[in-house]
Amino acid sequence: MQVGYTLMCEQSGPRSLVENAVRAEEVGFDFAVISDHFSPWLAEQGHSPFAWSVLAAALEATDSLPFATFVTCPTIRYHPAVVAQMAATTELLAPGRFTLGLGAGENLNEHVVGRGWPPVHIRHDMLAEAVCLIRELWTGQQVTERGEHFPVDRAIIHDVPDSKPPIGIAASGRRSVGLAADLGDALIMVEPKADLVTRFRDGDGADKPVYGQLPISFDADEARAARRAHEQFRWFGGGWAVNSELPTPRAFAAASSSVTESEVAASIPCGSDVDRVVETVEAWRTAGFSHLALLQIGGDVQDEFLDWAAKELLPALAQR
């Protein structure tokens, strides 16, 4: 299983993110992923620069580290024709180093353009139509469509790579996993649900990569690590059925107000116990994941985490 590093735009500014990407490559991570959101989940996180600008700078600043968006919603905040152009350009700038991760999105990041927030079955239909349109535009031919959700009028992407970037599709349930198997080149999940991985493999995803993401809170002081995880990541346990519907950081704060520090520490590895992280990573591997991106909580402790990863965590994972 390949182990990656997460550029979490919600907790760091753009320059720091690029610097962290360079360090991640230097210390030996296999790949990197970048979140693509308009807003942080909680006000305490404090950031949310434009992911595609950071991605371009990070690709230029690194030598060979592969990157993936984790994930971009191509349905409301962005029109799929714009996503198709952004992804084609990114692939041309860094051939073979880019995966386009797509998902049905969250209200938090999509409502900002004033188009409302449709129910989940409509969002899945929109995502499926968007993926098909992106692939059609990548042919470089003129496209005119009167789709149910995304009309396109004589659109041509003039700079299209010969080798198209793979498309990963984020999923959290049976329907979205089926969509990923049918239309995607990879599956993306944030929970190690072996039954959904099996469903993906039994569909059209038999030989396709499966990406996961594991939040951790490294710190030499375990109590401080737990406090940081609770302050910035207590929203994570709400599940996507809840998290996809909440519209603002204030709503996430209210929804997670009863979550305790001990509850967060029980679900997220906190401190410097390498063995706990290794065992947690092993659970993802056993569930069938081929790629796992680690997400260090706290924008101001990335240097410390990357030092620890280089000296202790990555060697321990390699040995396992």
Q: What is the pLDDT of residues 223-281, one digit of tens each?
A: 999 999 999 999 988 888 899 999 999 999 999 999 999 999 999 999 999 999 999 99
- Residues labelled as active-site residues: 37, 106
Q: Would you say residue 95 has pLDDT above 90? A: yes
Q: pLDDT tens digits for 30-74?
A: 999 999 999 999 999 999 999 999 999 999 999 999 999 999 999
Q: Give, rounded to a whole angstrom, the gap between the first and last alpha carbons of the chain.
A: 11
Contacts of 319 by beta carbon, 8 Å cutoff, 6+ apart: none
pLDDT in tens, 118-177: 999 999 999 999 999 999 999 999 999 999 999 999 999 999 999 999 999 999 999 999
What is the C-alpha separation between 190 and 33, in angstroms, rounded?
13
Residue 238: the pLDDT is 82
